Structures are given as structure tokens and as C-alpha cells.
Homo-oligomer: A and B are copies of this chain.
Amino acid sequence: MPKIVDEQMREATRRHIIHQAASEFARLGFDQANINTIAEQAGIGKGTIYLYFENKRELFLAMLRLIAQEHIAAIRTALAQDGTIEQRLEWLFGAFARLAQQERDSFNVYMSALYGVNRSFQAEATRLLRDYVTTIALLLEQSQARGEIECSDVEATALMILSLTESYILSAIVLGQSEQKILSQANLISKLVLKGLLPSS
């Protein structure tokens, strides 16, 4: 069964390359990042990268997909536990805040892909955006079923929550606020959202 070992090795190398690439792409962006440098940092030959990825663009996309997987997994984990809607919204916010701080590279890459000009990158990043929305929409539906909230357009509301959460955190980071300060807003945000979603009666 050397096949399996080889497959594992191959996958490991693939991930290793993606990891190093992510660091470079996050630091310099797609165009400024240098395949040579990525190879060096990955401790492999220049040509080796092309055994794993068709070209620079595909490497970037593969990295984007990996980031998306990891982020969506982190968010799902944060929402896995049961709890009141308020708690869960706070967890969501906290999960995003942690991702944005601890995985700043991935976050930068993801955001620049989402709001950058390269359409194929944007398309890939958009998929993650959709996954986020779906995950949050599920959360809202569960809460609605329990009568905790009242929500006419679940999709739109989910998007609103995501936008608020994600963008708030990013803006705060860009404006130089500390993780401490950002996390302390979790309660404020979730309260704000809830007030807007509470059964009006």
C-alpha cells in the first residue's frame, strides 16, 4: 500500500506549499507575490510547485479554497454548541474576531480576493460568503422555530448579520483597535441585532 502513503505525502506537500503561499500572498498580494520566493520558503525547488499546481493563479485559488474551508469550519464549531440566540450571536462575533486576529493573513487574502478586481478570485471568495450566510441563516431559522426571534426574510437578515459582524471587526482592526476592545463589543452587537429581530409585541 505505498499508494496511500504517497497520496498522504502528496497531500501534505500540497498543504505545505499552500501554507507558505498564503503567507506570501497575504503579505504582498497576488501580483507582487513571487513563485520563486514561495518555493524557497517552502524549501522546495521552483519547478516543484508546478507539479502540484497548474500555475500561480491555480495556487492562489487552491489557497483561497483551503482558507474558506478552515474559516467556515471555525464558524461552525463556534455555533455547534446549543445556547440562547444571544449567546450564539456573541459566539459568532467572537469567532470572527478571533479569526480576523489570529488568522490575519488568511483574512487579508480573503478580503482582498472578495473586494479585489480579479473576477475569478472574487467568484471563489463569494462561495465562502454564501456558506457563511447559509450557516447564519440556519441559526436564525432554529431560533425562529423556538420563538426567540421573528424574522421575515431570513436570508437578508443573515447577510446583514454577517456584514455587520465581519465588517465591524475588520474596520475596527484597520482603525487600530485592540482585540480586547473589539471583543468587548460582542455584547453590544448581539444586543443590537436582537433588538432588531425580537418579536415586536
Contacts and interface: CB of A to CB of B under 8 A. Distances in A.
* A interface bracket (residues with beta carbon within 8 Å of B): 35 or more
Copies in the complex: 4
A179 interface: no
Q: Is the interface of A mostly helix, strand, loop or mixed?
A: helix
A156 interface: yes
A81 interface: no
A159 to B, nearest CB: 5
Given A29-B117, A112-B115, A117-B26, A160 B156 contact: no
Contacts of A153: 188
A29 B167 contact: no
Interface in A83-139: 108-109, 111-112, 114-118, 122, 126, 129-130, 133
A112 B122 contact: no
A33 to B, nearest CB: 9
B174 A114 contact: yes
A113 B196 CA distance: 32
A46 B117 CA distance: 24
Nearest to A191: B196
